[in-house]
């Protein structure tokens, strides 16, 4: 039975720079990068070498400890560079993209005529498997596990997020084909969760073969972790797979055309963008072409993703594999005079989750915020501010402390199996102790996987 969930906790951070409902044509990049760091827990084993020519869909590397899991080229072209870091760790595989993409040949198949094992085999060999993430541990799904359910969030509630209703309008057939493939991967339910606060596109409301749920509330209502917790919670020993709504359509496109076509629509957002809008790109594209002539100030931070969970990149960096937006905001590397912009200032340009600044009266006002943390790391004390934005029936402060101290029993008892780092992004934002909470949760999850699984 479908469920309706209403959240009391959460926080919407109102920023300037949301994308207009305007979409530009496909921007073909000069270079495209695949970053193994996007796939947590994967140890890449290279298949190609620098200078080698590959077609879109050709294998670039596979997981050293789980060989069926492969990552493939999003475009055709030469392998321009394999960027390595400390201990020769692979950081990026950069491809120089052809103007016309040449796809690896693959045969079309009738989804209705194949079983779940065959769908799994096709997704693993084609590189589509990388779109599936697993809870617990928030990593690429392990094909040897059987999920009790698959969750898809039909909306993103993070600041300046992409509107999936707009992005997937008119792509009903691709999305439904992707759903049909996913339904074959589990004996349980495939959950599609809609935003209860606004009407959804027919692509979502008319979806077949899935349970359609609704959730009301502030961010993180759109986070799949929040939806799992309130609809079908995870217990120890259980697995749930998750996937982004736009990636479902990419899977459907593959089964319809036989091409590994990584075209996607992203939102170019932020207060430092001249004309925020939607842009059609190739996943992993160099952002320099996308942002050309768009940045209106000098000292900025370019983020692949949203301001809470995205990755800092250079203005010549590459879009992350799972990201559906680029955000550009002011860099916060300057000092603020205490009497005007500091903690003793009037705060008319500051966003606050409390009543510390008078702007709490202006519920529609949007803000131009920078990356300054307004303080350094300090004692991690109980204030209650984290609890007010964390909509899980979990004690967040105690769980974070257990993760910091590597308390395995404490983490298990406090619900570590249900969470991912992104679920604590708001906690990190409101935390007056300036603790990097997402990093602490990530390390806690890695420790639990190593010691308990």
Buried b (16+ CB within 10 A) or exposed e, 98-119: eeebebbeeeeeebeeeeeeeb
291 three-class SS = helix
Residue 134 has a pLDDT of 97
Q: How far apart are CA 203 and CA 40, in angstroms?
A: 30
Domain assignments of the chain as residue spans, ordered by start: 4-257, 387-452
E strand or H helix that includes residue 140 = strand 139-140
* CA–CA gap between residue 251 and residue 415 (Å, rounded): 32
What are the pLDDT digits (tens) for 413-452? 999 999 999 999 999 999 989 999 999 999 999 999 999 8
Contact 175, 148 (CB under 8 A): no
Pinpoint the alpha helices (H) of 324-407.
396-404
Give the model's pLDDT for residue 338: 67
- DSSP secondary structure string, 236-269? TT--EEEEEHHHHHHHHHHHHHS----EEEEEEE
Residue 339 has what pLDDT?
A: 64
* Confidence (pLDDT) at 35: 97
| Cβ 441 vs Cβ 136: under 8 Å | no
pLDDT at 363: 80
- Return the closest-CA partner of residue 35 out of 262, 422, 449, 311: 311
Report CA torsion sign: 166, 223, 227, 197.
negative
Strand order in the sheet with 189-195: 4-6, 211-216, 189-195, 149-153, 240-244, 133-135, 139-140
Whole-structure pTM value: 0.95
pLDDT along the chain (453 residues), means of 10: 92 96 91 96 95 97 96 97 94 96 88 92 96 96 96 97 97 97 96 96 96 97 97 94 98 95 97 97 96 94 97 96 97 77 74 78 87 87 90 96 96 96 96 94 97 86
């Amino acid at each position: 039975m479908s469920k309706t969930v209403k959240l009391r906790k959460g926080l919407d951070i109102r920023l300037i720079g949301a994308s207009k409902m305007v979409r530009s044509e496909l921007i073909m990049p000069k270079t495209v990068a695949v970053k193994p760091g996007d796939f947590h827990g994967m140890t890449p084993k290279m298949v190609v070498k620098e200078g080698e020519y590959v077609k879109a869909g050709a294998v670039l590397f596979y997981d050293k400890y789980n060989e069926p899991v492969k990552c493939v080229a999003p475009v055709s072209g030469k392998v321009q560079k394999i960027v390595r870091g400390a201990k020769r760790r692979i950081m990026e595989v950069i491809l120089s993209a052809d103007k016309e993409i040449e796809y690896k040949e693959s045969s079309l198949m009738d989804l209705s005529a194949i079983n779940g094992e065959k769908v799994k085999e096709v997704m693993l060999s084609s590189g589509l498997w990388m779109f599936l993430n697993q809870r617990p541990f928030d990593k690429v799904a392990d094909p040897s596990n059987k999920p009790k359910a698959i969750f898809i969030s039909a909306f993103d509630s993070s600041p300046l997020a992409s509107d999936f209703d707009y992005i997937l309008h008119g792509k009903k057939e691709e999305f439904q084909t992707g759903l049909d493939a996913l339904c074959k991967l589990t004996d349980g339910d495939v959950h599609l969760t809609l935003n209860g606060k606004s009407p959804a596109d027919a692509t979502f409301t008319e979806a077949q073969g899935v349970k359609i749920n609704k959730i009301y509330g502030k961010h993180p209502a759109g986070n799949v972790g929040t939806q799992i917790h309130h609809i079908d919670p995870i217990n120890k020993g259980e697995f749930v797979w998750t996937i982004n709504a736009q990636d479902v359509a990419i899977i459907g496109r593959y089964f319809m055309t036989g091409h590994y076509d990584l075209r996607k629509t992203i939102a170019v957002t932020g207060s430092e963008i001249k004309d925020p809008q939607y842009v059609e790109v190739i996943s992993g594209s160099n952002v320099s072409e996308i942002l050309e002539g768009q940045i209106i100030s000098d000292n900025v931070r370019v983020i692949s993703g949203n301001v809470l969970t995205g990755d800092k990149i250079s203005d010549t960096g590459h879009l992350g594999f799972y990201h559906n937006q680029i955000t550009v905001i002011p860099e916060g590397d300057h000092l603020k005079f205490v009497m005007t912009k500091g903690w003793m200032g009037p705060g008319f340009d500051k966003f606050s989750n409390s009543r510390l600044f008078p702007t709490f009266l202006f519920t529609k006002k949007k803000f131009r915020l920078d990356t300054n943390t307004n303080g350094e790391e300090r004692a991690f004390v109980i204030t209650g501010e984290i609890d007010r934005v964390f909509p899980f029936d979990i004690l967040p402060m105690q769980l974070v402390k257990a993760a910091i101290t590597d308390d395995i029993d404490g983490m298990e008892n406090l619900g570590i199996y249900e969470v991912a780092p992104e679920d604590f992004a708001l906690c990190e934002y409101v935390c007056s102790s300036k603790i990097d909470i997402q990093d602490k949760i990530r390390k806690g999850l890695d420790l639990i996987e190593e010691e308990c699984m």
